[in-house]
Amino acid sequence: MTNDQIRQAVLQIISVIAPDEDLTHLKSDVPLRDQLELDSMDFLDIVMELRKRYSVEVPEADYGQLASLDSCVAYLAPKLTAK
């Protein structure tokens, strides 16, 4: 997957987890939780959806690396480039 495909995949997952959120003005370098009304359960749902759809394991110690859209792409790129 390319970085753009990863970004779109993450946005698609967020749109499923938080369907009422407007993702059109999302800033990629600002933490998602500062821009969207995501609670800790929503965040866990995003992590679980990544595991389900793409077989990506995200250890709890790495959750902070998924804070913003840019950091999600940077973290997931090495794990998803072969997919």
Q: Average of pLDDT values for 34-52?
A: 93
Any idea what the Cα angle at residue 24 is, between residues 23 and 27, rounded to 5°?
80
**What is the structure's pLDDT at 8?**
96
pTM value > 0.85? yes
Mean pLDDT across the stretch 16-43? 92
pLDDT the model gives residue 81 = 78
Give the pair of three-digit tokens for residue 64.
């902070």
Whole-number Å distance between alpha carbons of 63 and 20: 23
What's the pLDDT band for 56 if we cut at 50, 70, 90?
Answer: very high
Walk me through the domains of the chain, giving residue ranges and CATH numbers.
3-20+28-80 (1.10.1200.10)
